[in-house]
Amino acid sequence: MGLVLLAVIWLITFISTYFFIAKTWWLPVGASAAAAGIDHHFTTTFILMGIVFVAAQVALGYLVWSFRDRGNPAKVSYSHGNTTLEIVWTVLTTILFVGLNLTSSSIWASERFRPAAADSVQVEVTGMQFAWYFRYPGPDGKFGATNPELEDASAGGEAALGLDTKDPASKDDVVSGVMVVPVNREIEVILRAHDVIHSFFIPQMRFKQDAVPGLAIHMHFTPIQTGEYEILCAELCGLGHYKMHGIVRVVTPEEFDKWLAAREAEKL
């Protein structure tokens, strides 16, 4: 039985580790400035934790086989423990765990502690059951007022947001069902929600943030690769949670300006 346990534990360990190393199902290719640092830290964590995982499981399998009762009246190694050993492995584990976390703290700080740059592109992202809407402030750089009483989700666009067209700042606001942003520019995202908590998740940008009703949460990311990327809702929001997804199109700055200008023109 000891040998069978060893074999099964080792087999499970090696098979699961194989799929991590082979990256059979893995992070999507990163497309934001933060992705490289985050992915590097993933790798560091995988290597360190992987070593601990394999070592512990291999040791467990080996020990249950090696110290099986072989029937002969051999004595056990009677011991209540070893205080030195306890101290050593406690200190080492603490250094490993806390140290690992501290090495990632600079990335966290740069992503979350500092606000968006002054010249970032602003996009207000609003989640509601079950769609994302995106609003651009237009040339005046200000977002117009919204009024919950004016909301009409069936009409889409501005009406879904309840845009108050009487507010002068609203006149140049562009509302879109697709998020379009220029590459290599910092994008400031202002997250809002109308009804319940949603979460704005762009896997390839390594970006996730809950959109909480009652709050306007400011976050930022910098796309570095043009293309189309999936946006998924990552916080249970009701029966349509699985189909609340959107698209972010990262385009060249020229295409972005053209797109925005065309949308502005439509409003006039």
Partner 1 sequence: MSTHESAVQAAHAHGAPQGFIRKWVFSLDHKVIGLQYYFLALVAVFVGMFLSLLMRIHLIWPTVALPLLGDIKPETYLTLVTMHGTIMVFFVLTTAPQGGFGNYFLPIQIGAPDMAFPVLNMLSFWTTLVGFIVMIAAFFVAGGAPLHGWTGYAPLSAVQSTGPGEGLGADLWIISIAIFCIGALMGALNFITTTLDMRAKGMTMMRMPLTVWAWFVTAILGLLAFGVLLSAGILLLMDRNLGTSFYVPLITVNGQLTGHKGGSPLLWQHLFWFFGHPEVYIAILPAMGLASQLLSVFSRKPIFGYKAMVYAILGIGFLGFMVWGHHMFMSGMSPYTAFAFSIMTMGIGVPSAIKTFNWLGTIWGGRIRFDSPMLFAIGFVSLFVSGGISGPFLAQPVLDIQLHDTYFVPGHFHLIMGVASIFGIFAATYYWFPKMFGRMMNESLARWHFWFSFIGTYAIFMPMHYLGMAGMPRRYSQMTEVGYLLDLIPLQKFITYAAFITIAGQLIFLVNLFWSMFKGKKAVDNPWEATTLEWTTATPPPHDNFGGHTPVVHNGPYEYGVPGAPRDYVMQTDPEIEPAH
Partner 2 sequence: MASFSTTATVTDPRVALGDDGILPPALAGGSGDRPDSGLPDYATRLRRARLGLLVALTPVLMLFVSFTSAYVVRQGLPSLDPRTATLVRDWIPVTLPKLLLINTGVLVLSSVFMELARRQIRGEAVFASADSIPGVPPASESRIPWLPMTLVLGIIFLFGQWMAWRQLAASGFYVATTPSSSFVYLLTGTHAVHLLGGVLALLGAGVASLLGLSLTRRSIVVDVTAWYWHFMAGLWVYILCLLEFAS
Q: Which residues contact partner 2 (rule: CB under 8 A)?
A: 143, 145-148, 162, 164, 192, 213-216
- Residue 242, CA distances (Å) to 123, 153, 157, 180 in order: 24, 19, 21, 22
Q: What is the phi/psi pair of residue 123, to 5°?
A: -135, 125
Complex with partner 1: residue 169 or 234, whichever CB lies closer: 234
One of 186, 234, 263, 264 touching partner 1 (CB under 8 A) = 234
Amino acid symbol at 234: A
One of 41, 142, 171, 263 touching partner 1 (CB under 8 A) = 41
203 binds partner 1, rule: CB under 8 A: yes
Amino acid symbol at 98: V
Amino acid symbol at 45: T
188 binds partner 1, rule: CB under 8 A: no
178 binds partner 1, rule: CB under 8 A: no
How many C-beta neighbours within 10 Å does residue 100 have? Answer: 14
Binding residues among 111-140 for partner 1 as defined by CB under 8 A: 111-113, 129
The binding track of 148-167 with respect to partner 1, each residue x by CB under 8 A or -, is xx-xxx--------x-----
- Residue 204, CA distances (Å) to 123, 124, 143, 191 in order: 18, 20, 28, 19
Is the peptide bond between 130 and the residue preceding it cis, with omega within 30 degrees of 0? yes
Complex with partner 1: residue 23 or 254, whichever CB lies closer: 23
Residue 26, both tokens: 């893995």
Give the shortest CB-59-to-partner 2 separation in angstroms: 33
Residue 90, both tokens: 């406690």
Residue 94, both tokens: 């603490």
Give the shortest CB-214-to-partner 2 separation in angstroms: 5
206-238 residues labelled b (16+ CB within 10 A) or e (exposed): bbebbbbeeeeeebbbbbbeeeebebbbbbebe
43 binds partner 1, rule: CB under 8 A: no
52 binds partner 1, rule: CB under 8 A: yes
One of 1, 118, 265, 268 touching partner 1 (CB under 8 A) = 1
Q: Which of the listed partners (partner 2, partner 1, none) does 90 bind, with a CB threshold of 5 to 8 Å by partner kind?
A: partner 1
Q: Which of the listed partners (partner 1, partner 2, none) does 264 bind, with a CB threshold of 5 to 8 Å by partner kind?
A: none
64 binds partner 1, rule: CB under 8 A: yes
Residue whose tokens read 């290597």: 47
